[in-house]
Amino acid sequence: MKFRYPYTLLTITISLTLISWGYTGHRTIGKITEHYLSENAKAAVKDLLGNESLADAATWADDARKYPELKETANWHFLNLPLGLNFKEFKKMVDTMKQANVYSALIKAEATLKQSNANKKDKINALKFVIHFVGDIHQPMHVSRAEDKGGNTIQLNYDGKGTNLHSLIDTKLLEHEGLKFDSLAIKFNQIPKRKIRKWQRAPVIKWAWESYQISSKLYAEVDEMKSNTIGDEYYKKHIGMVEERIQQASVRLAGLLNEIYKDGYIQ
């Protein structure tokens, strides 16, 4: 059964505001990432962010859309694709997509950090975008369909309250843990070294592909529901996936920054 509602002002507003892991998820990623940075990467981050931590900087990109000069970045947080693609088709569509998206924005921000002639302000913004977009590309509903705005218009009832599929995955399941981001970081930062090595070897396009595969399953589950009311069973089934995506985002962000700054800060 499908629970898709017409686009109203409310759902459009929701799609503009709930476009990421949310405060808790992004800051959890930032906090975990700090444990895996090389000394060179730590020094570079310190030079660019000053006393601002990765966790503090992790949510800046959501606020940046409010500034006139950065208004265009609103479309940089997600990647819209039809369902049913194999990896070859998926990669081809992503590589040839003309509209800016989370994949192209992440690659662009990474390139800015590597440029010796980029000014410091641009590098600071680029670093904050990288921190945020690595998180976004690991949120499954950020690599999903355009017609329901990444699950924002798929209405559900969870814990006795109205919500939607996007909000459920990026916020509600984490809120159910009842922990703040620093405590979640401690809980989630139990990652075997073999997984870290494996996850960091995967290219960025695979990060997006993983999210696409997960969102496809989440859509299929909703379509099979006989009611839009879900409870603890859904939480138990999916919280492990949410935890793993946050873990993957964290160690991959660290791996990305470690690689960029392997030879020290790029002046």
Contact 214, 241 (CB under 8 A): yes
Look up tokens 């399953």; give the residue.
Answer: 217
What pLDDT is stored for residue 20 in this prediction?
54
What pLDDT is stored for residue 66 in this prediction?
87
What pLDDT is stored for residue 183 in this prediction?
97
Share of the chain above pLDDT 90, in %: 84
How would you classify residue 171: left for phi > 0, otherwise alpha for psi between -120 and 50, otherwise beta?
alpha
CB atoms near residue 174 (< 10 Å): 22
List the beta bridge partners of residue 230. 158
Q: 131 in helix, strand or coil? A: helix
What pLDDT is stored for residue 11 in this prediction?
34
- Residue ranges in the chain modelled with pLDDT below 50: 1-19
List the beta bridge partners of residue 246. none
Here the tokens at position 5 are 């509602």
Residues 6+ apart with CB under 8 A from 90: 81, 208, 209, 212
Phi, then psi, of 80 in degrees rounded to 5: -100, 130
**Alpha-carbon gap, residue 201 to 214, rounded angstroms:** 20
What pLDDT digit, counting tens, does each position of 45-88 carry?
999 999 999 999 999 999 998 888 898 999 999 999 999 999 99
Q: Is 1.10.575.10 the CATH number for 9-260? A: yes
Q: 57 in helix, strand or coil? A: helix
Q: Domain residue spans in the chain?
A: 9-260
The beta strand positions in 143-234, using DSSP E, are: 143-144, 155-158, 161-164, 229-230
- How many helices (H) and strands (E) the chain has is answered by 14, 5
CA 218 to chain centre: 16
What pLDDT is stored for residue 267 in this prediction?
65
Question: DSSP readout, 7-24?
Answer: --HHHHHHHHH--SSHHH
**Alpha-carbon gap, residue 256 to 41, rounded angstroms:** 10
The beta strand positions in the chain, using DSSP E, are: 79-80, 143-144, 155-158, 161-164, 229-230
Phi, then psi, of 226 in degrees rounded to 5: -90, -15
